[in-house]
Structure 1
Amino acid sequence: MTPYGSFSFFFIIAILLTPTIVLGLQGKRFYHYNLLATLISLCIIFASNLQGVLALVLFTIWQVLLIIGYIKYRSKANGSTLFYVAVVLSILPLALSKLLPYFSQVNWIGFLGISYLTFKDTQIIMETRDGLIKKVPPLFQLLYFILFFPTISSGPIDRYRRFEKDIHRTIPKEEYRILVYEGINKIFLGFLYKYIIGYAINHFFIANLRFIAHSQFQHHLFYMYAYSFYLFFDFAGYSAFAIGVSYLMGIKSPENFNKPFMSRNIKDFWNRWHLSLSFWFRDYVYMRFVFWMTKKKWIKNRNVISNLGYVLLFLLMGLWHGLEMQYILYGIYHALLMVLYNSFERFNKKHRWWPHNKFTQVLATVITFHFVCFGFYLFSGELFNKGV
């Protein structure tokens, strides 16, 4: 059963989380029951996919052993070598699951949510290296973080230390009442976004574009804007569901969207779109690359290092979506935009060519919107679709 993909799923979750809500409204802790609810939910989600169940179990065992082993033995071996080995081994199942479909019809490694689980697991290893996580987490607590069912398929990507604080807190019943109210609001917002606005755009507009010849510029122009809005409302709706259900479980999962189409530049866009993913790549790819290059002093120009970091970040983000040409182009396109904007920003600080006022802010938002939509058009693969 696909998470948030049917009303049956919401009905089951409502029944399953009723004890959680009752306990929370009485000011009682519900951590242990939520562990059970997560296990039951995973059984429901993967009930019809035995291969997925097996892959999830083996993946979880692999990551847990890797995390515990790294935390225990990192001080007894070459720190850097062990760290790089641990990161590579953590990412290995995800990399294999992305590559295997190109060589086999059966992807025996992949399962629903493997990307987002990998991001969380790798993050624990990296934060252990940074000294932010100092001891091995309790086993059930670690499993709860990794397998937390509301966000398992598509995020948001939580951070372990933030998650840990939530599960150790005893939430006062007045505070939990507000959390339930906000969670239900999030769920209804998700219905509005995904099943009303997103569905309407896809069913009544995008589907009807087939009546416009695929060779016409008009077809591609309409598709570009329609797909951009559809992608936002569909994904933001899913995120609202995941965050809302998390709130009911006493976990304040991070937000994933912050009015991305109101961005004033491409850097601002990536601070508003799919926040948990973009921040993950920023913190664990871009910042580490910049720090590493600066430390090695192979390139002394910080602007060049920053631009190379953007290229690496967005190429990896594109390849993470898949090896198809549209994803690679999407990554290259956004890397190019970030490099160009980075150069423009430095130029404007020196020459004050672009003034800051209400008119230029509106103009910048409009320009950014069109560049973003073209990026989504590349991402959609419609450019390579030959039509009927």
Structure 2
Amino acid sequence: MIDFPHMIPYANPIYFIYLLIALLPMILTLLIKGKRWAWYQVLVTLLFLYMSFGGEDWKQGVALIGYVIWQTILVWFYFHYRQKKNASKIFYLAVFLAILPLVLVKVMPFVSGHASLVGFLGISYLTFKSVQIIMEMRDGSIKEYNIFRYIEFLLFFPTISSGPIDRYRRFEKDVENPPTPEKYVDFLGKGIHNFFLGFLYKFIIGYYFGQVLMPVVAKIALKTGGFSWELVAYMYIYSMYLFFDFAGYSLFAVGTSYLMGYDTPINFNKPFLSWNIKEFWNRWHMTLSFWFRDYVYMRLMFTLIKKKVFKSRIVASNVGYFALFLLMGVWHGLTWYYLAYGLYHAALICLTDAWLRFKKKHKEHIPSNKFTHVFAIFLTFNAVCFSFLIFSGFLDTLFFK
């Protein structure tokens, strides 16, 4: 019997050897016949879930199984009882119960000092998928509930640990309509390109920033103490590491999806070339920001405007931004720097909105050319890097420990 080692997805080059060997039959079948073997994809999924959640991390595996059972039954109940008399109460109860395991994972370490037993790698992204389905069932966008398809969507192994966060209807369309051999050639080309670029990002550039430069600069900054040029250097180095490491992972996840014939959405689109903070969030961790936009911000705005909580739409929008980014901060963790990170981005977006309104009103007096565009990119880049310095928690270590 083959004893597969425990591996975090895309963290070890050996992982890719197992991955390519496992996907080869799927690649050949799609390339020659334009079909998938559903049973083979199930076997590959179970294999890689075992590699990620088995062995020494068996407790995470048990938590994952329990979580999937919980969410599957919950969504089934909601689908069948969503049109009862108390439909609204049932909806809010279903959403609450869907996010309850994630809440326990985030709160328990803060309350008891111990990790929650229901936690596992990727619980946030599975929760986002489950809540998305409940909301779209309420909207009427999802009209059928196929338990196997739901579990297949939830446990799509290329993206299970850190996204990208796909949409159920888009995923279902890919399942039901595998690419033709001609189209799959493009998928295969993009998949291979993503793998090579991902290796460059994560294992070369990301490694250099994160494992070579960052420890040296951090040590000097801590020794110097307070605000220093070493702290500024740490800010930029950490920002580069965060981007190349996470973007590299995302390239691997999307590339694997391409090899399997799935058009999983990309997660990054040259975010450091953004000319304002709103554009940045349209380019950085895109599937997460779009999820929060569609399922939190837009629904909150609809409620605030419909109930006329605020007379001004601008005030309502600003309140929505602060609520949204504060929630994103809490999602990362219950520490001051994550909350500060969220509030900082909310303030930046509100200021950006105010500037865009002012600029539109006085456009004849405000220059707009290549220089101003480059200057806007420069300002946005530095504002984002400062937010990543907050996010890193290094300031907590520097000033409070």
Give TM-score scaled by structure 1 length: 0.97
1:379 maps to 391
- Asked if 1:44 corresponds to 2:51, the answer is yes
Separation in 2 of the partners of 1:367 and 1:101? Answer: 37
Separation in 2 of the partners of 1:214 and 1:183? Answer: 45
- Whether the 8 Å contact between 2:34 and 2:178 is mirrored in structure 1 is yes
Amino acid paired to 1:46: F
CA-atom RMSD, angstroms?
1.3
- Asked if 1:101 corresponds to 2:109, the answer is yes
Work out the percentage of aligned pairs sharing the same amino acid. Answer: 52
- Whether the 8 Å contact between 1:116 and 1:155 is mirrored in structure 2 is yes
Q: Which among 140, 158, 171 is matched to residue 150 of structure 1?
A: 158
For 1:1-388, what aligned pairs fall within 5 Å after superposition?
1-32=7-38, 33-48=40-55, 49-102=57-110, 103-136=112-145, 138-209=146-217, 210-212=219-221, 213-215=223-225, 216-352=227-363, 353-386=365-398
Amino acid paired to 1:236: A
Separation in 2 of the partners of 1:386 and 1:309? Answer: 32
- Whether the 8 Å contact between 1:150 and 1:243 is mirrored in structure 2 is yes
Separation in 2 of the partners of 1:82 and 1:56? Answer: 25
- Whether the 8 Å contact between 1:184 and 1:244 is mirrored in structure 2 is yes
Amino acid paired to 1:3: P
Q: How far does residue 106 in structure 1 lie from its aligned partner after superposition?
A: 4.0
Q: Deviations over 1:125-178 (max 9, x none)?
A: 011111100121x22211110000000000000000000000100321121122
How many residue pairs are counted as aligned between the two chains? 387
Moved more, 206-215 or 127-136: 206-215
Q: Deviations over 1:173-221 (max 9, x none)?
A: 1211221111011011110000000111123311221235341511210
2:4 maps to none
Unaligned runs of 5+ in 1: none
**Structure 1 residues 320, 31: closer, same or farther in 2, change over 3 A?**
farther
- Whether the 8 Å contact between 1:31 and 1:167 is mirrored in structure 2 is no
Separation in 2 of the partners of 1:386 and 1:225? Answer: 16
Amino acid paired to 1:371: A
Separation in 2 of the partners of 1:386 and 1:270? Answer: 28
Give TM-score scaled by structure 2 length: 0.94
Amino acid paired to 1:19: P
Unaligned runs of 5+ in 2: 1-6
Amino acid paired to 1:166: D
